[in-house]
Amino acid sequence: MNVEAKSCANSLTVKTSHVLPPDANSYGTLFGGKLMAHIDDVAAIAAVRHARKNVVTASMDSLDFIAPVKVGDSICIEAFVTWTHNTSMEVFVKAVTEDLITGERMVCTTAFLTFVAVDEDGRPIPVPQVYPETEHEIMLHEGAAARADYRRERRKESKDMAKEFGTDFPWQK
C-alpha cells in the first residue's frame, strides 16, 4: 500500500473548553484525569486525521502539570502528528490555560502520545508517513526516534513488572 506522505499541519487539531465546577477538585482546579481525557481525545482526532483510519492509544508519556487550570479558565488543547513508523504515530500535544477575564495564558502541560491505526478487526495497519515543515515540527520530528526507543524500553519494563506482580494482591498469596 503506497500512501502519499502528509504534513504535520494536516493533522492539526485544536479544542477549547470552559473549565466548570464539575470538572474541578476541592482546590478549584481541573482534575488531572479530566485534562488527560481532553488530551487523549484531541490527540486521537489528530491521529485519525492523519491516518484516516480508526486508532487506539498505545501510550501517553508522563505529564507534568506546569500551571494550574482554574474553574472559570479555558483550556485549549492543540495536537498534531510529529512522526510515524509503519502502523504507529507519535502525536505532540500542548495544553494552554487562559484566564478569560485577564487574558493571561500559560502552557499547563505538554505530552507525547502514541497511537496505532487498526482495521475493523483491531489489527494494526500501515499509516502514511509524515513530514515536518516548520522549525518546531522539524525539532519534534528529529527527536522522535529516540523517544520511540525510550517508550519501547519503558513498555518492556511495564510488561516485566506486570508479570512479576500478576493479578493477585500480595495478601492473597
Flag whether 101 is in a domain: yes
Gap between the Cα atoms of 169 and 173, Å rounded:
7
If phi over 0 gives left and psi between -120 and 50 gives alpha, with beta otherwise, what is residue 120?
alpha
Flag whether 170 is in a domain: no
Flag whether 173 is in a domain: no
Q: Are 113 and 90 in contact (CB under 8 A)?
A: yes
Gap between the Cα atoms of 84 and 24, Å rounded:
35
pTM score, whole prediction: 0.91
Total domains present in the chain: 1
Which structural domain, as residue segments, surrounds residue 59? 6-164
Q: The CATH number of the domain where 110 resides is what?
A: 3.10.129.10
Q: Write out pLDDT tens, residues 131-162.
A: 999 999 999 999 999 999 999 999 999 999 99
The residue whose grid cell reads 502539570 is 65
